[in-house]
Structure 1
Amino acid sequence: MSTQQAEGYDIPAVEAWVSANVTGLTAPFKWTRLEGGHSNLTYQLEDTAGRLAVVRRPPQGELLPKAHDMSREWALISALGPTPVPVPAALGFCEDTEVTGAWFYLMGLIDGRPLYNSRQTADWVPPERREILAFSFIDTLAELHALDPDEIGLSELGKKENYVGRQLKTWYRSWNSSIDAAQHDDPRAHSLQTFFLENMPEQGPARVVHGDYGFHNVLIGADSTIAAVVDWEISTLGDPLADLAYALNPWPEDAADIAASPDAATCVPGFPAKSALAKRYADRTGRDLGMLDFYIGFNCWKTAAIIHGVYARYMAGNKSTDGVDLVALRERIDASLAAAEEAISRL
């Protein structure tokens, strides 16, 4: 009998379910915890023949209604599997909470790694292959945005219309509801929201938007190309240019940008500038990027609102502040609003 333990998993029950529902894996498995992935409980499984897979379920405890949506991730990797967008193989999905207390799914293991900081990038990606990685990163996003969600079975993934307008409403509500707890307001948050509402570009055809596309949510192979895109739990349908702007935000344009964020995974020598990635995306997709700075500004404003909400929870005592630099967190709110103003000033 196995003495292994895995948080959130009834190992015998899960192994029995896999044996009955997934081909190509033979229990019992060796379970190894994998870190990352928005706190979802993710384990590598190695079967008796040395074959590898990954199992994933939400964290334990009460969850927000749409948080940690396993069915969404499963639908996306299943639909994208036959397309040019690289994703892990979809192996099996369990909706029976009697098995281990929550929905879970199995996917193929990808030989690659995410990057969270400049040191990891410098260690994993040789200087002569960094342009290859940057172009693979932006080309993969272009491939995603080329897909018609109706044609790949994802027409019900979310509302198609007014993506930016809906986001503005959501995050402005978050900002206002956090003011008292944060003991902090900023007039720029309000003036920028008004600007974005009054100057919103007309949205083109809806596409799948990842929502959090970056080096932290892709697996980069030893050949310095994107081996798989992961963590699809907040993906929806919407404006691809908003998704592009979010993906471009961490990329530096010049030495001053690198100096401002030296620890960012994109801030190592050898990468092309942000503008070069934008041009490559435009060339690949044919999309007009004349209003890209609107979307960049919108994403910076949204980032400020998200951090403001986190700051409010700390200030209200709802989260432990051990090891948390509250001054730095507040400075990030300010910096994000300043970056939003700078972006729209270029329009």
Structure 2
Amino acid sequence: MKTGHLVPGCKMEDMIEKERLVNQYLEQGNKDAAIKLLFDFVLACAKQGRFEAAEAMRSRIFEIDSMALDEIIRSGEIIEEEKRQAIDSEHRRIWAKLYDSLSVEEANALYFAFKKAAYQAGEIIFKQGEWKPRLYFIDGGQAKIVYFQDDTEVYLKPVRTGQFSGEEAFFSPSICTTTMIAQSRIAAYYLDSDILGVWKTTSPVLESKLQSFVSGAEKISDLLKAKEKDRRRQRRITLGGRAEALLMDSSNNPAVRPFSMDLADISRGGACFVVGIRKRETAALLLGKRLWISYLHPLMGSSQSINQSGTVVGVHFHPFEDCTVNVKFDVPLPRELEVQLEKLSLQALQDVDI
């Protein structure tokens, strides 16, 4: 966006002086001079990014002479062009698909309705159960979408650079059904839903175009339904033993040093582990992380070891105890392995009964 010192004629004191001169010209019956002065003022303010002042002076031209069509049209074109050039180039590159679907006027209306925000890692951007009808566009960094169920934080999906969030609460009057937490430093633009009312008169097609753009993304409501179905469908097999885990970065490169976890239960789609973490803040950092997991039951041969990549989708913190971590596997376990694990679990239960 353009910044810097204002050119002469665009400061507040100059605005007052220009208005005095305009009134003076009008009293003298010199309408043309008043319009030229206002037109030059529009140009000066637009060049410096003072678009509200430029729009106000353009409206003043219309008030003085609604037939001064040349000045009215040209001043409008100048304002729109200066707005277009003022759009941050990196932001426009990230959201090229959206901006390319809009007219110049619509693109300007969208960009200048945005508010900028920055968030630090661990900061809550919006919270489940609160009223915050905003649409967020991530220009840098990564966040995670989670929801809370029976005091357990459940991971839904990541939100990365070039992705958006908050669309369901933004377009329909509803509270947030999920929580969005920054996982790194976030640079974002957001819209408040109040702007939709403004656009109905100034840019009547913009809302539908924006809604069309976001409609291609996976809906949060669908993710929540899928989570519930998945939870009901997967059979959990109670099974113990030690597993080794490696954290993976965004490129799926594993860390050098592994850490240990105790298996609590497992299904074809994922597993629950007990991890020796006693601080809630530390435990929460695992949510959304990618892991490479290696597990071998004591009664299984080395060729039957489980080596799986997955995402931490749930972290349940227990005060004064170790926390439990739920991992969703990228690829389900083979059905025959599931059968074998069930046999081992049943055998362990029988041994306990004996």
TM-score, structure 1 normalization: 0.24
Decide which structure has greater strand share: 2
Q: Determine which structure has more spread, i.e. the larger CA radius of gyration.
A: 2
- For CA contacts below 8 A with separation 6 or more, give which structure has more relative contact order: 1
TM-score, structure 2 normalization: 0.24
Decide which structure has greater helix share: 1
